[in-house]
A and B are shown apart, each in its own frame.
Chain A
Amino acid sequence: MNTKKLIGNIVRYGLYALVIIFFIWAIQNQYFNNIFSQSSTFIVLLTQHIQLVLVSSILAVAISVPAGIIITRQRFRRAEWLVSNTVNFGQTIPSLAVLALMISILGIGFKTAVFALFIYSLLPIYRNTVAGIDSIDEDLIDAAKGMGMKPSQILFRIELPNAAYSILAGIRTAVVLNIGTAALAYVVGGGGLGVWIFTGIQLFDNGYLISGAVPVTLMAIMADYILRGVEHIVVPKGTRRSQSAET
């Protein structure tokens, strides 16, 4: 038993050490310097990045969650497979291509990037909304109807609370994905921290690379962490499930 604990500890602290070594190495080589020497540019890029993610994610939630709700209503059920298959095919199209194809429709700039990110975030949220509502035991809905709940009451009191875990997980996936995809917004002139990453790649400049890539990474990890916290607060206690294998 103790050797197992030992192995666990070695791996854990080994990984901590690796991360620390990376930061020491990067700092010693002054790879983070751009953040401070060009702090105003950094702030602009960071703000752009956050705006890209926020605007596109909010729009995506505003469209996908209602869409998922509508498609799971009795009378639209039949359309579900069609929508799901279209949406599944859509997800196999690379994010970079979605961005690139938007250029020919909307030209270059911030709006194009937002629109592409929005399109790309629709799927995980939609899919998880549908899966969350579908996974609710039919007997619950039957009991709710039998007790005289109106369809709207069933939706807001039974379906949405019980699907909340799944829906929020979908939103979290979409936002984290979005932070990464927003780093590609550079290719459509959408700004964001991707500007430094791509500059770094093109100029082979480690300073730009690290100053762009590390903040984006931290942003994604933080967003994941924060949204998990939100899930913990919002999801009703009785419905919390352990993590499943898929996704």
Chain B
Amino acid sequence: MQEWIRFLDVNAPRILQLTIEHAMLVGLAIIVALIIGVPLGIYLTTNEYLAGTVLQVASITLTIPSIALFGVMIPVFSMINQGIGFVPAFVALVLYSQLPIIRNTYTAIKNVSPEMRDAAVGVGMKTYQRLLRVEIPNALPVIMAGIRTAVVLNIGIGVIAAYIGAGGLGVLITQGISRGDNYLIISGSLAVAFLAMIADGILLLIQKRYTPKGIAN
């Protein structure tokens, strides 16, 4: 226990700084992923043909192991001198987030009942009104579930990004491994675990806050 206190005394500021770095990387990637994924998911509900292709590709992307994706990205991004560091990590996280976000948005909007849609059209809503007032509110819990999946997934994958110099909490773990220092490894992993749980918790609160009462169960 005393060892731990001494360790934290020295390393707490660094752990905090790396946690923030980690959260920034993941947060930024998720925001970009949302900007791409949600509109795409909504559009796909109107184009079955494209939906098949996009969902399939997104699902294959998710099966690619993260370290292998980084491995492929380094040579590709080297061509623009961004082989290691923030850029490949960021791009990889955006890619990995696409499947849960697109698929859940697509499925949720698809599952809005035709009667509800008819009623919306019947009372004279325009397409964008129908989308904003009926379809998205009713699809929100499922879309949020997709975002939560993506965030928790990305926080985990972000650890591997330390190997390509993108910083974050993975740094503690990789250093711990090379120095044989379990304190570093354990503090790093616990920080990751807590970050994931806190992020998930916050998103769950947001989800509950903005889910229309009528469909909350």
Which residues on A are within 8 Å of B, measured CB to CB?
A: 4-5, 7-9, 11-12, 15, 22, 26, 29, 31, 89, 92-98, 100-101, 103-104, 176, 179-181, 183-184, 187, 194, 197-198, 200-201, 204, 206, 209-210, 212-214, 216-217, 220-221, 223-224, 244-247
Select from chain B the residue with minimum beta-carbon distance to A242.
B107
Q: Which of B39-70 contact A (CB under 8 A)?
A: 46-50, 52-54, 57, 60, 63-70
- Summarize B's interface: helix, strand, loop or mixed: helix
B70: chain A residues within 8 A (beta carbon) = 201, 213
A7: chain B residues within 8 A (beta carbon) = 47, 49-50
Which residues on B are within 8 Å of A, measured CB to CB?
A: 46-50, 52-54, 57, 60, 63-72, 74-76, 78, 83-84, 103-104, 107-108, 142, 145-146, 149, 152, 155-156, 159-160, 163-164, 170, 173-174, 176-177, 180, 182, 185-186, 188-190, 192-193, 196-197
Cα distance A41–B68 in the bound complex, in angstroms? 18
5 extra interface residue pairs, beta carbon distance < 8 Å, beyond A93-B190, A96-B170, A224-B63: A4-B48, A93-B189, A209-B74, A220-B68, A245-B146
With A7-B47, A8-B50 in contact, do A92 and B196 touch (Cβ < 8 Å)?
yes
The one of B47, B72, B78, B193 in contact with A213, judged by C-beta atoms closer than 8 angstroms, is: B72
Cα distance A220–B190 in the bound complex, in angstroms? 28
Select from chain B the residue with minimum beta-carbon distance to A5.
B49
Cα distance A22–B65 in the bound complex, in angstroms? 18
- Summarize A's interface: helix, strand, loop or mixed: helix
Number of CB contacts from chain A to chain B under 8 A: 154
A31: chain B residues within 8 A (beta carbon) = 75
Select from chain A the residue with minimum beta-carbon distance to B46.
A4
Cα distance A98–B182 in the bound complex, in angstroms? 11
Select from chain B the residue with minimum beta-carbon distance to A178.
B65
Cα distance A209–B68 in the bound complex, in angstroms? 8
Tell me, rounded to whole Å, the shortest Cβ–Cβ distance linking A28 to chain B. 12
Tell me, rounded to whole Å, the shortest Cβ–Cβ distance linking B198 to chain A. 10
Most chain A Cβ neighbours within 10 Å, of B68, B69, B142:
B68
Cα distance A217–B145 in the bound complex, in angstroms? 27
With A89-B197, A101-B186, A180-B66 in contact, do A96 and B160 touch (Cβ < 8 Å)?
yes
A187: chain B residues within 8 A (beta carbon) = 174, 177
Most chain B Cβ neighbours within 10 Å, of A12, A179, A213, A223:
A213
Cα distance A175–B104 in the bound complex, in angstroms? 23
**Judging by beta carbons under 8 Å apart, are A101 and B189 in contact?**
yes
A97: chain B residues within 8 A (beta carbon) = 159, 173, 185-186, 188-189, 192
Tell me, rounded to whole Å, the shortest Cβ–Cβ distance linking B48 to chain A. 8
**Judging by beta carbons under 8 Å apart, are B65 and A12 in contact?**
no
B46: chain A residues within 8 A (beta carbon) = 4
A246: chain B residues within 8 A (beta carbon) = 104, 142, 145, 149
With A96-B170, A180-B67, A245-B142 in contact, do A201 and B163 touch (Cβ < 8 Å)?
yes
**Judging by beta carbons under 8 Å apart, are B193 and A11 in contact?**
no
**Judging by beta carbons under 8 Å apart, are B156 and A94 in contact?**
yes
